[in-house]
Amino acid sequence: MTITDLTTGQDPSTDQASSPGERAVGTVVVAGVGGVIGRHVAIEHARLGHRVIGLSRRAPSDLPDGVEHRAVDLADPDRGALADVGDVTHLVFGAYVEAGPPAELVAPNVALLRGALDVAQAGGHLEHVTLYQGGKAYGAHLGGFKTPAKEDDPRLLAPNFYYAQEDVLRERGARDGFAVTMLRPEAVLGYATGNPMNLLMAVAVYGTLCAAVGVPLAFPGSRAAYEALYQSTDAELLARATVWAGRSPNADGQVFNVTNGDQYRWANLWPLLAEDFGVDVGHPLTAPLVDTMSDKEPVWQRLVERHGLRPTPWADLVQWPFADFIWNSGFDNVSSTVKLRQAGFGDCLDSEQRYLDLLARLRADRVIPPRGATA
């Protein structure tokens, strides 16, 4: 399927010659290359012929083709870790550490950003940094918030590591002469090994297990969440937006919401998912998945062995508390993407169709079993 950029009329999946004023891309460093965002950004830059260096503490088991890896602990980095790389022009920061309550997330995640900057700036030619934020910038983790959320909405009083990272990045950019862009996705859909905070994988594993044991696909959350508006960001679309932001002067110093450009209700998507998994639709049932899935590892292992699936550890497949939070958030989650489109990036996707496309890809890649699989 070809996606056309609504602003330029061009296919954004192919590398176009730089327009006047666009910055050239030399070597790109992706911090957090093992995550779903970092992985897809690395793939996109490598596909476009850029040199890509992926940073993480351990090399991913399926490092994308064309991507070099350097084992770096960003909390305590060796500033000379990229001494043989040459000029690094772009840093994409997708690293994250889970450290407890919101106030305790600030210091360690700011430290990761500082470490990545130190490593990327060692060559002295850094031109652009992309930082990812998300719905927490608007208070999506606290309850209902103003919708559609816009990039100039005021900050919240509650502690938030996004704010602290942005302040550090703007200060360093102003001091050292590189441009910065903050991108705010929501519910990123994609696949990366060992990256369990991923709604796509929650849908995939939950639906697979319902089908394998022969029970209806009941929405495992609140009826309010079932009926509320929600939105997603495809990981490939976000990667294309990242490439655009790294090149375009229209993105310099800006914050942009990045979603697929539409919204959906689980009430409308759920029957499509049930049909895709070959099961009946169940009624919404507030049954925490952390409890429901507590004894399902043996079932999953039988599926892996019987159907030759990728042997991903159960703990690395899905973070069930994350899925429980999303499917019990009974309020609209909508962000405006007008600013992004006006700045020059108009890529969009049909989210409902994208779920089905990505589930088909997971089956083809043997991440989940084929339709009709039993345990």
Cis ω before 159 (30° cut-off from 0): no
Higher pLDDT, 6 or 199: 199
Q: Tens digit of pLDDT for each residue in 161-200? A: 999 999 999 999 999 999 999 999 999 999 876 677 789 9
- % residues pLDDT > 90 (the chain): 83
Longest dimension (CA), the chain: 60
pLDDT higher than threshold 90 for residue 39: yes
Q: What pLDDT sits at residue 83?
A: 86
Q: What pLDDT sits at residue 59?
A: 86
- Please name the residue ranges forming H helices in the chain: 36-47, 102-120, 161-176, 199-213, 223-227, 235-247, 266-277, 289-292, 297-307, 314-317, 320-326, 338-343, 351-364
Q: How many Cβ atoms from other residues are within 10 Å of residue 61's Cβ?
A: 12
Q: What pLDDT sits at residue 198?
A: 87
Cβ(199)–Cβ(207) below 8 Å = no
Q: What pLDDT sits at residue 3?
A: 35
What DSSP designation does 335 have? B
Least confident of 181-195, 218-232, 269-283, 330-344: 181-195
Q: For residues 40 and 48, give the distance between their C-alpha atoms in angstroms, rounded to a whole number.
A: 12
What pTM did the predictor assign?
0.93
- Residue closest to 47 by CA, chosen among 179, 201, 239: 239
What DSSP designation does 128 have? E
Q: What pLDDT sits at residue 18?
A: 55
Cis ω before 313 (30° cut-off from 0): no
Q: Tens digit of pLDDT for each residue in 257-307? A: 999 999 999 999 999 999 999 999 998 999 899 999 999 999 999 999 999
Q: Tens digit of pLDDT for each residue in 50-61? A: 999 999 998 888
pLDDT higher than threshold 50 for residue 216: yes
Q: What pLDDT sits at residue 79?
A: 83
pLDDT higher than threshold 60 for residue 16: no
Q: Tens digit of pLDDT for each residue in 249-264? A: 999 999 999 999 999 9
What DSSP designation does 29 have? E
Residue 338 token pair: 């007008």
**Three-class SS state of 137:** helix
Residue 221 token pair: 């959350």
> Which domains does the chain possess?
27-188+233-257 (3.40.50.720), 192-231+263-332+350-364 (no CATH)
What DSSP designation does 294 have? G
Q: What pLDDT sits at residue 85?
A: 87
pLDDT higher than threshold 60 for residue 48: yes
Q: What pLDDT sits at residue 342?
A: 98
Q: Name the burial class of residue 153, with classes exposed (0-12), middle (13-18) and buried (19+) by CB atoms within 10 angstroms of its CB.
A: middle
Who's near 323: CB < 8 A, 6+ residues apart? Answer: 199, 202, 206, 220, 289
- Residue closest to 42 by CA, chosen among 76, 3, 92: 92
Q: What pLDDT sits at residue 10?
A: 40
Q: What pLDDT sits at residue 11?
A: 45
pLDDT higher than threshold 90 for residue 223: yes
Q: Tens digit of pLDDT for each residue in 117-135? A: 999 999 889 999 999 999 9
Q: Please, what is the average pLDDT of the chain?
A: 92
